[in-house]
Amino acid sequence: MSQVDDANEALFVDLYELTMSASYAAHDLDQPATFDLFARHLPPGRGYLVSCGLDPALDYLESLRFESDTLDYLSSLDLFDESFLSLLSTLRFTGEVRAIPEGELVFPNEPILQVTAPLVEAQLVETFLLNCVGFQTMIATKASRVATACDGRTFVDFSPRRDHGSDAALKAARSAYVGGAAATSLVLAGQTYGLELSGTMAHSYVMRFDNEADAFLTYARDFPGRAIFLIDTYDTEQGARIAVEVAAKLEPELWPRAVRLDSGDIDQLSRSVRAILDEGGLGDVRIFASGDLDEYRIAELTSADAPIDAFGVGTQLGTSGDAPYVSVVYKLVEDASGPKVKLSTDKVTLPGRKQVFRVTGDGGELRSDVLALEDEIVGDGRPVLCPVMRGGRRVDAAEPLDVLRDRCRASVAALPDRLRSLAPEPPPYEVSTSAGLDALVHRLHEGFGVL
């Protein structure tokens, strides 16, 4: 078995989740419990996070089961008795999940999702949920920043060859689309998620021919009206002139859609190439830029009004190079004995089942969030934690990716300018706690003698 799939994903757990669960079961502690999955703080340079990964997480919960091969392996470890293995053999996720919808914005300490289930079930899903939601939230957030930098221009996910594993590349394509990417180069993502595909040609293709003209001419005829000429294999400006010469030999319907710049001074070259194309009668042929781009470099290009129509973003998108993880955690906040709190230094948690209320201005702009107990009402706030699973089954069908993408675009547009900026240290968004939550925190802290 070379990858995680439906047959073995139940073992996508850290060992301690199994040993704790075995102990819970042995001591009659397998009663309902609630866990929050949240980010302790924002990654460096981030003013917000984009919730992403919920739909794959719900798929996992609905299909969770321990197959015979996985049980045989666990038996071979000599850690678990037959009664626990028997429990696992019939285990299904039967709990409920509340979550912030994909594409909505998230801020520190706000539950991205909240799981309530018998303790064994809720504990065993920890690692998968953290991996799934944390990674995809990271990529969707990065993509939304790239979209902001593009300032209305399109960008494409070019990341799969640099992503950290094949599953990561697939999930990165999905998350990048939610964050604002127009398409992906990864064909499997096109099949899996219905994403638009985008591709050009490699330098190897150009080098295989005796000259650039033959390469461009052949490709244009093989893919009429869809070809994008890579013009920087030898000399970019000369490549642009050759593209003009080739177009003169073709019917207009065979002309390339664009030329691609992948190296050098992209700003300066885009200007000279635009002039060459325009003078050659190819004013409708677009310029596509790639080559180690990220939101910062793209922002420089768009601010300088470089004549670039679209961008391909690879390594920095699929790895979120400047902030390669989100500090998501999964913490017990309530069980059969009541609300729970963790008091470890720098890792204090907020107890109880909660709701997040989002307060907006008259024009729809985001003003602040309030973290409250589940049964509280914040009069001018919109609750954003929604029920998505009951009894181990989805409440509603999965939303189309276009809906998630539109939600992300609208949510980011509603942010104050200071939080959309690419400044190294954006000022924080206001997240306060309600009177009821404050009172619960005080009571629990007082009970442990820490006030």
Tokens representing residue 72 in the block:
């045989």
3-state class (DSSP) for residue 1: coil
Lowest-confidence pick of 192-201, 414-423, 431-440: 414-423
**What is the model's pLDDT at position 449?**
77
For residue 122, report the phi and psi dihedrals to the nearest 5 degrees. Answer: -65, -35
d(CA 194, CA 411) in angstroms, rounded, equals 23
Tokens representing residue 27 in the block:
């001591």
**What is the model's pLDDT at position 418?**
87
Task: Report whether 149 contacts 62 (CB < 8 A).
Answer: no
**pLDDT band, very low/low/confident/very high, at 396 (cuts 50, 70, 90):** very high
Mean pLDDT of 234-241: 98
Residues in the chain: 451
CA distances to 216, 231, 273, 291 from 235, rounded to whole Å, are 15, 7, 11, 16
Tokens representing residue 286 in the block:
């677009």
**What is the model's pLDDT at position 1?**
46
Rounded to the nearest 5 degrees, what angle is found at the Cα of 420, between the Cα atoms of 419 and 424? Answer: 70
Q: Which residue has the higher pLDDT, 224 or 379?
A: 224
Q: Is the pLDDT of residue 408 over 70?
A: yes
Radius of gyration of the chain, Cα coordinates, nearest whole angstrom = 26
| Cβ-based neighbours of 183, under 8 Å, separated by 6 or more | 154, 156, 157, 195, 196, 197, 198
**pLDDT band, very low/low/confident/very high, at 423 (cuts 50, 70, 90):** confident
Exposed / middle / buried, residue 345 (Cβ in 10 Å: 0-12, 13-18, 19+): exposed
d(CA 291, CA 308) in angstroms, rounded, equals 13
Q: What rounded mean pLDDT belongs to the chain?
A: 96
Exposed / middle / buried, residue 127 (Cβ in 10 Å: 0-12, 13-18, 19+): middle
Tokens representing residue 163 in the block:
């992503």
**What is the model's pLDDT at position 451?**
67
**What is the model's pLDDT at position 7?**
87
Tell me: the pLDDT tens digits for 157-175? 999 999 999 999 999 999 9
**What is the model's pLDDT at position 2?**
61
d(CA 57, CA 99) in angstroms, rounded, equals 11
d(CA 313, CA 262) in angstroms, rounded, equals 11
d(CA 422, CA 91) in angstroms, rounded, equals 46
Of 323, 420, 318, 414, nearest in space to 104 by CA: 414
Half-sphere exposure of 79 (CA within 13 A, CB side): 14
Task: Report whether 410 contacts 327 (CB < 8 A).
Answer: no
Q: Is the pLDDT of residue 265 over 70?
A: yes
CA distances to 180, 230, 270, 295, 297 from 304, rounded to whole Å, are 22, 23, 11, 14, 11
**What is the model's pLDDT at position 33?**
98
Mean pLDDT of 336-363: 93
Tell me: the pLDDT tens digits for 285-321? 999 999 999 999 999 999 999 999 999 999 999 999 9
Tell me: the pLDDT tens digits for 25-83? 999 999 999 999 999 999 999 999 999 999 999 999 999 999 999 999 999 999 999 99
Mean pLDDT of 323-337: 96
Max Cα separation, the chain? 84
DSSP symbol at 389: E
Q: At what angle do helices 295-303 and 126-150 cross, to 10 degrees?
A: 10
The H-assigned helical ranges of 251-346 are: 266-279, 295-303, 315-318
Q: Dump the DSSP string for 341-371.
A: ----TT-----SSEEEEEEE-TTS-EEEEEE
Mean pLDDT of 237-245: 98
